[in-house]
Structure 1
């Protein structure tokens, strides 16, 4: 039997289930209970990753097939269903178009702002190179960087903290079934777009590609609902899709469209949604997501061609263009595959180091840098330090390269080099990260010396690690690619110098590409989707096999030491995230041992006052209630006949759907699904609904509104089996019954997510209101 550590748990009275105290695990297991009082977390638990937050609710990915739903489906004609299917395609097309348009605006804004900044700083450096006073150039560079980053940090920290970071962990959680507050709001999108422009223009070690995934998801969530609560606009269009199930599918399409716009990789975008996010998938959904991805990359390509005054020249499919890798010039041989695998292992080790350092840095920020003003100051400090380090590296570098007609540097900086030469270190630092990656991939051999690449890799590694997690909108994709491209090119240079005929087969650009894939894979641990993204972005399928081997190796090596960066940040947010499979040693746990019990249930016809009291009780903030039929007057448990949600009860109370016992006549107001859709997704709190004393004495018939066929399992069902039901069906509540179909407990996402494999076997996390 598997080991289990000392159980430390909270009272589950704040869980989203209808349960009370937890049942004990096994006979003989030591249990220590804490109550959630004013002090919050116990002193024995120093970090958030050891908690499971009760503030995150689940999404209702399982449709409630109540009488209203079935009646609406029966009334709908065949033509009506066809119109709905056409509407889904139209929505996906709009998602792709708007996502591509946003990506185009971000790209143009970043290129122009960064271009002006680098031009001003370059002119200033050249002015003071001969006459002295380069400290003024350093101050100018640092001030410009800090000013851009200050704007980006202020709007994130004070106006919309949900726009911080890349947003990929939040979208992963949303598609997993977790309701993350404000993650798909219009305000979040506006702040995300403005913030990422400021972050990249401010010279931080970040990229604009990661936030595009979050931006596409927000666009999808808004367009598919035909309304905006931020603008207080309801266009009454697409209102049929106002439920979590439909919204989830469109958010998957939006995330894929964001990847496609970022990398010009529509197939990679589809695979990203499949690998990293979506918990539900079918063939028709695949086609719609691919359609959104194609529209996204085409829109970006089309508008950039107009902006570049080359209408119809569709040569810029994504925000980052790796450039074309021709097979003849950089082909690889069979004997190089072991070298690629070694590079994958190196990427896994460096990625693990990056994640561990960022983990401890994030813990420090959670403890000490939690006020908005401190977060803005930290972001400005990082921006100023980045500028200072970049300037120092350029200033002390003596790597001078000839400036020939085949050079494609946008801002070649001469500094102390001779006439007709430029400082090679400036190529790496004095540019946007995307242009630096392309230079490392395609500059001819001899463009960089080993010392330059070594110093750049070391400094940029720590700058990127420090930067990720700041209160700014930024991604980690491009910094990871840039770090890997630098040490990969260094590896290629060393191979060329120490092996016979190495200058012929060890092309540095080829190894820069492999190093970039290895580093990114070692940090984010993506395999399938990242392989296709890299192949599509380079336009050369020849590299598919080596990139796949590199990513698999990086993942295996990195996972041995620490989780991927996104998984770390999900855990630090205490999100009840469900992975693909239950913990390997959890078969001996049953539903009876993990469920919440006792359960708050309602009768089929319940007193209004009872419902109001249950919903108003702050210590039982439950969101799902089994509906039961009493077996006997003396029996506390009844047979389950349905399940009703808090949100449904709120709508019923709001519309006064009461049964009036007057003159022996039962009358009840007729509701439609439209009434529930109008309240979606932010249902009013119970405190805002007034129920008079006379109304409290009325009754409410739940028969028409409850889900009469909820999923149930016997109490002896194993944890992995319960886990599969939750993961595959997108459940929020699972009723546990005994042999006579009487309710004995309720399993929710948090009941499952608190079990994980640790160093000492199966461990149970605490539940706390964080």
Structure 2
């Protein structure tokens, strides 16, 4: 029997550990697990290896676990889950306090300047402070983490879909996102906190998994006399994606005080085909714990959670009548059109900005820094100048927080209360059922035109902000203006806040193309489940209109335009005429014991997986790129590879790190049926053979993604 065949059963870490510890590579199927010498300690740092005798016994009798299982101890996974929830709650609370302090400083300084020197001087102070915040934020992005200027939601979604996204999560990107998100909201950009916060939540979970879980999926073995660190990538990736989903759900839960909304948001974000069974209860517990921890932190600070989220302390008067239903339908249909046009305008504006930057490539990143800074000044200046068009009104009995701006004591500026204030406080004003008549139709409509224009113009700038609150505010402004106008015409007697709620949910669902999450988040914000039927009605109508105009939501379109590695749940229709052989990608087969020169040549290709086979034999297994690289000599030896002929001819045991039982399909299998193995079963690569078992090629997840585009 050839030597390489002795290791074909060592696909799992435990089996490879047994083979590495034994005196030879000879496979003894009758040997008991206790007779094999298992490495009890990590060769690098002396910690106990998780692969003990009990794990070896299980490994020798188990079938291939596959990519959809992690088999990690329950207590370890739950410790990561609770640590993630705690970290997200603490991070969110710290960011809230920072934003509150920076915004308070900006508003108090502006108001003092208005009282002492006039409104124009106050607007100038507002512009200067907003610009200074923007300068610090954009410089942090461009000079510390230049690839992470957006919300990070498209990249995060691609990672949760199963893509490999090197460099997406790190300590540096986590802190840069947090700091720049604080500065972007304090500067007054038309954005929210939720997009970057979801990515930050996943980032925190990723870092915790890297610290806690890696010792359970790695081992040191000796290959050709040198130690090599082997990591079971698929188990680690599966567990990490579970934890990153938990982190994103916790982020939504603490931002909107919506634990159920966080669960449903991530369910729709990940899609049902990638939603693992254990995630439901894990996310349920983590969002609950995260929300309770946020309440506890507020209690320690002597504050209330409703100061920091869009939330009504008690259910307010939001009665609606059957006569309002036709108006709700018309409002939702109109908002569906508006959100489709708004999304298309953002795509167009981002494309124009990207093409214009090509002319300034040699001067980058300074043109981006200047452009972003000037846009922050424009946002502050425009909001201040448009607010001057408002007519001051006397403070009502609602007790809500309005912005005086240029108005005398005891009065407020309705447009400034919607534009100059933070987006969270503006949405609270719009949703309220106790401030009828305090915000007129003209004020909310003018604010809608201004805020929407500024939000569209922001597309393409490296500003880490979220679209949830921004789109909710735009829909709320339009809905409130329609409700106030109908109330003026005496068409309805319902509070204008009800129309704002319906418009907000209709705008949010159209932009994100989400239904359940949009409804539940908005209903939890207003703390009134009686509005659920009309909110669902508005979402259904808006989604129907939006789907007829836009094929994808904003994030999905960004994924498509940036060519991010994302696999759609369903195969495209053109796959109906294809078979498995048509989907094969170019591959570099490796011998079970391959010369180092052959391995180095294969690694020069962009392939993610390599079939392992004899020249004229069938496919014996599949080895991932990372597993093959783990067998390479140390860096000191690799520098002299070309000089040492003996090293070049050294045989690397590829069979030690391959999967000897990969998915194998016949060449005539219909492509849509094969597609489900990757999209719904989570497979990474599959061998294609003839009906007689002859090797025909290899299909990888990356190849399918490229073909769908």
Counterpart secondary structure, 1:326: coil
CA distance in 2, matches of 1:707, 1:126: 73
The yes-or-no answer on 1:402 pairing with 2:397 is no
Query: Out of 159, 183, 203, which is 1:218 matched to?
Result: 203
Query: Out of 387, 399, 402, which is 2:380 matched to?
Result: 387
- Deviation of 1:78 after TM superposition, in Å, equals 11
Query: Out of 539, 558, 563, which is 1:551 matched to?
Result: 539
The yes-or-no answer on 1:449 pairing with 2:396 is no
Q: Which residue of 2 aligns with 1:182?
A: 167
Q: Which residue of 2 aligns with 1:284?
A: 278
Query: Out of 263, 269, 284, which is 1:270 matched to?
Result: 263
Cα deviation, 1:307-357, whole Å, max 9, x if unaligned, reads: 2x15xxxx5279522314627x21333443343332222222111111111
Counterpart secondary structure, 1:746: strand
The yes-or-no answer on 1:752 pairing with 2:699 is no
- Deviation of 1:718 after TM superposition, in Å, equals 1.8
The yes-or-no answer on 1:649 pairing with 2:641 is no
The yes-or-no answer on 1:470 pairing with 2:422 is no
- Deviation of 1:623 after TM superposition, in Å, equals 2.1
Alignment of 1:27-426 (within 5 A): 65=12, 68=15, 72=51, 75-76=54-55, 84-129=73-118, 134-226=119-211, 243-277=236-270, 279-307=273-301, 309-310=302-303, 315-316=304-305, 319-324=308-313, 326=315, 329-369=317-357, 371-398=364-391, 400-404=392-396, 406-409=398-401, 411-413=403-405, 415=406, 417=407, 420-426=410-416
The answer to whether the 8 A contact 1:348-1:522 is kept is yes
Counterpart secondary structure, 2:274: coil
Shift of the 688–287 alpha-carbon distance from structure 1 to 2, 3 Å rule, reads: farther
Q: Which residue of 2 aligns with 1:579?
A: 568
Q: Which residue of 2 aligns with 1:528?
A: 516
The answer to whether the 8 A contact 1:207-1:433 is kept is yes
Counterpart secondary structure, 1:744: strand
Q: Which residue of 2 aligns with 1:596?
A: 585
Counterpart secondary structure, 2:351: helix
Gap runs ≥5 in structure 2: 1-9, 19-50, 60-69, 219-230
The answer to whether the 8 A contact 2:138-2:180 is kept is yes
Counterpart secondary structure, 1:716: coil
Q: Which residue of 2 aligns with 1:496?
A: 487
Counterpart secondary structure, 2:445: helix
CA distance in 2, matches of 1:73, 1:268: 42
Aligned residues: 635
- Deviation of 1:241 after TM superposition, in Å, equals 8.6
Q: Which residue of 2 aligns with 1:25?
A: none
Give the stretch that moved more between structures: 90-99 or 370-379. Answer: 370-379
The answer to whether the 8 A contact 2:597-2:649 is kept is yes
The answer to whether the 8 A contact 1:461-1:483 is kept is yes
Alignment of 1:595-744 (within 5 A): 595-597=584-586, 599-615=587-603, 617=604, 620-631=605-616, 638-654=617-633, 690=641, 692-744=644-696
- Deviation of 1:614 after TM superposition, in Å, equals 2.1
The answer to whether the 8 A contact 1:66-1:708 is kept is no
- Deviation of 1:267 after TM superposition, in Å, equals 1.9
Cα deviation, 1:622-657, whole Å, max 9, x if unaligned, reads: 2211112444xxxxxx311111112111111236xx
The answer to whether the 8 A contact 2:402-2:412 is kept is no
Shift of the 630–83 alpha-carbon distance from structure 1 to 2, 3 Å rule, reads: closer
Q: Which residue of 2 aligns with 1:41?
A: none
Counterpart secondary structure, 2:449: helix
Shift of the 588–199 alpha-carbon distance from structure 1 to 2, 3 Å rule, reads: same
CA distance in 1, matches of 2:540, 2:704: 29
CA distance in 2, matches of 1:207, 1:630: 58
Counterpart secondary structure, 2:536: helix
The answer to whether the 8 A contact 1:347-1:521 is kept is no
Counterpart secondary structure, 1:473: coil
Shift of the 738–74 alpha-carbon distance from structure 1 to 2, 3 Å rule, reads: farther
- Deviation of 1:607 after TM superposition, in Å, equals 2.2
- Deviation of 1:727 after TM superposition, in Å, equals 0.8
Q: Which residue of 2 aligns with 1:486?
A: 477
TM-score if structure 2 supplies the norm length? 0.84
Counterpart secondary structure, 2:82: helix
CA distance in 2, matches of 1:338, 1:738: 61
Shift of the 180–701 alpha-carbon distance from structure 1 to 2, 3 Å rule, reads: closer
Give the stretch that moved more between structures: 531-540 or 620-629. Answer: 531-540
CA distance in 1, matches of 2:343, 2:238: 33
Q: Which residue of 2 aligns with 1:440?
A: 430
Q: Superposition RMSD on alpha carbons, in Å?
A: 2.8
Give the stretch that moved more between structures: 72-81 or 119-128. Answer: 72-81
Bigger helix fraction: 2
TM-score if structure 1 supplies the norm length? 0.77
CA distance in 2, matches of 1:566, 1:686: 45
CA distance in 2, matches of 1:479, 1:299: 26
CA distance in 2, matches of 1:465, 1:210: 16
Cα deviation, 1:379-433, whole Å, max 9, x if unaligned, reads: 11111111111111112222x21124643225423x2x46532221121123111
The answer to whether the 8 A contact 1:209-1:319 is kept is no
- Deviation of 1:710 after TM superposition, in Å, equals 0.8
Counterpart secondary structure, 1:577: coil
CA distance in 1, matches of 2:639, 2:347: 41
Q: Which residue of 2 aligns with 1:461?
A: 452
CA distance in 1, matches of 2:540, 2:636: 48
Shift of the 244–235 alpha-carbon distance from structure 1 to 2, 3 Å rule, reads: closer
CA distance in 1, matches of 2:648, 2:89: 53
Counterpart secondary structure, 1:177: coil
Give the stretch that moved more between structures: 546-555 or 378-387. Answer: 546-555
CA distance in 2, matches of 1:404, 1:531: 30
Give the stretch that moved more between structures: 138-147 or 536-545. Answer: 536-545
CA distance in 2, matches of 1:379, 1:148: 11
Counterpart secondary structure, 1:644: strand
The answer to whether the 8 A contact 2:310-2:427 is kept is no
CA distance in 2, matches of 1:236, 1:474: 35
Q: Which residue of 2 aligns with 1:18?
A: none
Question: Which of structures 1 and 2 has the larger relative contact order (alpha carbons within 8 angstroms, sep 6+)?
Answer: 1
CA distance in 2, matches of 1:572, 1:304: 41
The answer to whether the 8 A contact 1:653-1:689 is kept is no
Counterpart secondary structure, 1:553: helix
Shift of the 324–340 alpha-carbon distance from structure 1 to 2, 3 Å rule, reads: farther
The answer to whether the 8 A contact 1:122-1:411 is kept is no
Counterpart secondary structure, 1:603: coil
